[in-house]
């Protein structure tokens, strides 16, 4: 997987679609899920780190991984601000430059992994590699939370890509419900929650809607002989 040049240029400008507001579904899926001391989480494809910040605020030690070095510089600037440093009750954040298909993270460490529109930046062989890597890094029954584009999204139509997003050209896969759930099942995850929503987005370009799948799955426990 190569560095996504569109995202790299975007973050080099210091911009952010969503400022530091976390993905709403992440907080919904976690519920009142404050971390037990020492628990680890992963924000894969973290961008400016808005969801890593949310996970750390819940007490998780969070690995904020992205293939774009410029996105992690945006996060590191936020971590150096007084508003973050003065918040004493939070977990630590560890920025990490990494490909989604080869994670330099030790096995069986994560209690939570969040993928926010990172899987759609991969083709299906890469998606399998990514989910396999996530499975390796996660504890049994750990929670995988995903928010990603469906095939009903405006960007799935080539002539609407620029209108849909400045970075729509980086998207390789728009999921059907079946393709996404099948990939999870194939790679050792059991689905516990699935929904589809339309999200209004006026944060960049022309105001538009995104069609999103939001789902939660648990790493399947190994059958003990």
45-55 pLDDT tens trace: 998 899 999 99
Domain membership flag for residue 54: yes
Domain membership flag for residue 13: yes
Domain membership flag for residue 181: yes
pTM assigned to the model: 0.89
Give the C-alpha separation, 60 to 55, whole Å.
6
Q: What is the DSSP string of 108-150?
A: S-EEEEEEES-GGGS-HHHHHHHHHHHHHHEEEEEEEEEEEEB
Q: Identify the CATH number of the domain in which residue 15 sits.
A: 3.40.50.150
Domain membership flag for residue 30: no
The domain in which residue 214 lies consists of 5-21+35-219
- Where does residue 225 rank: exposed (0-12), middle (13-18), buried (19+ CB within 10 A)? exposed
With CA atoms as reference, report the closest residue to 164 among 112, 204, 128: 204
What is the token pair recorded at 25? 């579904």
- Note down pLDDT in tens along the chain; length 225 residues: 455 676 777 777 655 555 678 999 999 999 866 777 889 999 999 988 999 999 998 999 999 999 989 889 888 988 888 677 667 678 899 999 999 999 999 999 999 999 999 999 999 999 999 999 999 999 999 999 999 999 988 877 755 554 555 566 778 899 999 999 999 999 999 999 999 998 877 766 677 788 899 999 999 987 554
**Structural domains counted in the chain:** 1
Strand locations in the chain (E): 40-44, 61-66, 93-97, 110-116, 138-149, 189-201, 208-219
């Amino acid at each position: 997987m190569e560095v996504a040049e569109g995202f790299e240029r975007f973050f080099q400008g210091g911009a952010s679609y969503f400022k530091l507001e976390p993905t709403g579904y992440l907080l919904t899926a976690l519920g009142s899920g404050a971390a037990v001391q020492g628990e680890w989480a992963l924000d894969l494809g973290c961008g400016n780190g808005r969801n890593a910040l949310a996970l750390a605020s819940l007490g998780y030690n969070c690995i904020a991984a992205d293939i774009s070095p410029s996105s992690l510089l945006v996060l590191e600037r936020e971590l150096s601000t007084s508003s973050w440093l003065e918040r004493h009750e939070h977990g630590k954040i560890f920025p990490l430059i990494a490909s989604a298909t080869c994670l330099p993270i030790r096995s069986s460490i994560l209690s939570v992994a969040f993928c926010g529109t990172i899987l759609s930046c991969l083709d299906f062989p890469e998606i399998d590699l990514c989910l396999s890597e996530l499975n390796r890094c996660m504890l049994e029954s750990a929670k995988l939370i995903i928010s990603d584009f469906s095939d009903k999204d405006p960007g799935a139509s080539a002539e609407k890509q620029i209108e849909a997003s400045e970075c729509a050209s980086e998207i390789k896969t728009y999921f059907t419900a079946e393709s996404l759930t099948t990939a999870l099942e194939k790679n050792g995850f059991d689905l516990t929650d699935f929904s589809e929503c339309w999200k209004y987005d006026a944060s960049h370009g022309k105001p538009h809607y995104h069609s999103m799948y939001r789902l939660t799955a648990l790493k399947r426990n190994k059958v003990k002989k």
